[in-house]
Structure 1
């Protein structure tokens, strides 16, 4: 089977293990591929939440300039408002919460921005209904 459509986004990271831990905690992603690139010698990891054929590719380099910040972001839908609030509490405690959760009503829902270890922005949300919109 050949992949078509949007399959991945690649992010440069300075510490691949810290980034794996962040996306595992806040986006329920796990490593599905790991390698040391033969040409460049850099570590490369593919992360997936196994809900669709899409990965976040992490490429470890010495100096990172965040490309997903502040409004450019990855968005993750949470299974409940309570789960999102739990994750925001962890992020608050870790100093990763960029914006407090806010309810913006339909179609945006309840959302908050977090900062990953390299300054890229991750949005947690509940109630955006993107999947439902695509089904209708």
Structure 2
């Protein structure tokens, strides 16, 4: 059997702020917490995906200072353009919107970007050949 991607582990400067961000904007929830080397380690997952992919969030990281033209990011798919606009509006109000909603040719689609409290960029998209409704879309 080939390897399966199961988790992403992040050291962050403010654990509670990052947990709150991923709960608020990504609808992830805490599925496990444990002590680890004098600190708390938190596992988060999207509902229904607890056994397939998680974020492991740990304290002790440095704030990432990504350049404006750095497109390193975590990508989350949404079910409509309106949902992308709604996330962007909430992020604008919270002061964490970095890429206003924009439309790009297939396979990129319609997306916006946020900065999490650790400095990671997080994209919310609609119309990519991944995520909700993608089963009918060809992957180029």
Aligned length: 129
Cα distance between partner residues in 2 of 1:57 and 1:112: 24
Q: Is the 8 A contact 1:10 1:58 kept in 2?
A: yes
Which residue of structure 2 aligns with residue 66 of structure 1? 64
Cα distance between partner residues in 2 of 1:68 and 1:74: 13
CA RMSD between the two structures = 2.1
Which residue of structure 2 aligns with residue 115 of structure 1? 115
Which residue of structure 2 aligns with residue 79 of structure 1? 79
Deviations 1:62-101 (A, max 9, x none): x514287731110000122112111100101111011111
For the structure 1 residues 68 and 30, does the alpha-carbon distance in structure 2 shift closer, same or farther, using more than 3 Å as the test? Answer: farther
Which residue of structure 2 aligns with residue 33 of structure 1? 32
Q: Following TM superposition, by how much is the alpha carbon of 1:105 offset from its aligned partner in structure 2, in angstroms?
A: 2.6
Q: With the length of structure 2 as denominator, give the TM-score of the two structures.
A: 0.82
Cα distance between partner residues in 2 of 1:34 and 1:78: 27
SS in 1 for 2:34: strand
Q: With the length of structure 1 as denominator, give the TM-score of the two structures.
A: 0.85
Which residue of structure 2 aligns with residue 42 of structure 1? 39
Q: Is the 8 A contact 1:68 1:74 kept in 2?
A: no
Q: Is the 8 A contact 1:97 1:113 kept in 2?
A: yes
Where structure 2 has 5 or more consecutive residues not aligned to the other structure, the ranges are none
Where structure 1 has 5 or more consecutive residues not aligned to the other structure, the ranges are none
